[in-house]
């Protein structure tokens, strides 16, 4: 699977969240899955509208715009912490991929 210019293996579901659309009076359901990155692409389909940023978990929590994204990140950290205690954690997987939309009225300092 490719997302934000990386390919990898999709892990088990972190959870399902319901959230309200900013532009419509509608509720949506979203699922979050971790991606074990195996390849970083130089070119990818959405590179003109998305910027790929590697960051620490702490930085990712700070820039998450929605509570449910932070909750998904916390669940991933808890899952990886449990695997580390069981001896299954790989030390080279310490990075979190951030993919942000930098077109239009971008409010994030990361887009500057």
DSSP letter (8 states) at residue 112: -
For the segment 24-69, what is each residue's pLDDT rounded down to a tens digit?
A: 888 888 898 999 999 999 998 999 988 888 999 889 989 988 888 8
- Residue 57 burial class via C-beta count within 10 angstroms: exposed 0-12, middle 13-18, buried 19 and up: middle
By residue range, what is the domain housing residue 7? 2-111
Q: Per residue, what are the HEC states of 25-94?
A: CCEEEEEECCEEEEEECCCCCCCCCEEEEEECHHHHHHHCCCHHHHHHHHHHHHHHHHHHHCCCCCCCCC
Is 37 in contact with 7 (CB distance < 8 Å)? yes
**Pairwise CA distance, residues 80 & 89, whole Å:** 6
- Supply the pTM of this predicted model: 0.65
Number of domains in the chain: 1
For the segment 67-84, what is each residue's pLDDT rounded down to a tens digit?
A: 888 999 999 999 988 876
């Amino acid at each position: 699977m490719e997302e934000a210019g990386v390919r990898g293996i999709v892990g088990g579901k972190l959870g399902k969240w319901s959230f309200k659309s900013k532009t419509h009076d509608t509720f949506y359901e979203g699922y979050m899955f971790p991606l074990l990155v195996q390849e970083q692409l130089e070119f990818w389909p959405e590179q003109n509208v998305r910027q790929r940023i590697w960051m620490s978990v702490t930085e990712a929590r700070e820039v998450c715009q929605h509570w449910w994204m932070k909750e998904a990140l916390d669940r991933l950290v808890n899952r990886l912490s449990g695997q580390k205690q069981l001896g299954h954690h790989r030390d080279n997987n310490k990075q979190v991929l951030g993919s942000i939309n930098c077109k239009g009225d971008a409010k994030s300092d990361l887009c500057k």
